[in-house]
């Protein structure tokens, strides 16, 4: 295998392995029966999108955290290394989102106008 083919293989690994990411979604029990979800994965943006799908009336963020590993650098080789390593190392980058779903909005009660007063003068 020549050097160019090897470089292409190494460069395509993050793309090939990107489908291997795992996400965990757990519904937590609460005393009042409200919907509370704990979401874990690698991408905080994706966790927020999933929370929006789970909580159709919106949600309140109870806790959010993100841990990332790797070299911090603006150089492209270091960024490529971090990307490749993030697909191979499950403990390298993790995000967590704990949300409480908002309840469906309650429609305001219809107000009924009081009956018109009749004084007997109109006939």
Question: Has residue 122 got a pLDDT over 90?
Answer: no
The three-point CA angle 8-12-14 to 5° equals 145
Q: Are 98 and 109 in contact (CB under 8 A)?
A: no
Confidence of residue 120 (pLDDT cuts 50, 70, 90): low
- With residues binned 3-state (H G I as helix, E B as strand, rest as coil), the percentages for the chain, rounded to 5, are 35, 25, 45
**Segment 7-49, tens digit of pLDDT:** 555 655 544 444 455 889 999 998 998 999 999 998 889 999 9
99 - beta bridge partners?
Answer: 37, 61
Distance CA 51, CA 41 (A): 12
The three-point CA angle 93-98-102 to 5° equals 145
Q: Where are the domains of the chain?
A: 20-101
Beta strand residue intervals within 19-81, DSSP E:
24-28, 36-41, 59-67
User: Taking Cα atoms as reference points, which of 86, 98, 95, 99 lies closest to residue 44?
Assistant: 95
Overall pTM > 0.85: no
Q: What mean pLDDT do residues 64-85 have?
A: 74
């Amino acid at each position: 295998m020549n050097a160019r083919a090897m470089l292409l293989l190494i460069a395509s690994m993050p793309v090939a392995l990107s489908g291997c990411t795992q996400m965990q979604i757990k519904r937590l029990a609460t005393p009042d029966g409200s919907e509370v979800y704990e979401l874990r994965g690698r991408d905080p943006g994706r966790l927020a999108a999933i929370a929006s799908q789970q909580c159709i009336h919106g949600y309140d963020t109870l806790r959010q955290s993100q841990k990332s590993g790797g070299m911090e650098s603006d150089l492209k080789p270091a960024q490529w290394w971090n990307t490749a390593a993030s697909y191979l190392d499950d403990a390298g980058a993790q995000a967590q989102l704990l949300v409480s779903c908002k309840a469906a909005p309650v429609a305001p009660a219809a107000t009924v106008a009081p009956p018109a007063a009749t004084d007997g003068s109109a006939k």
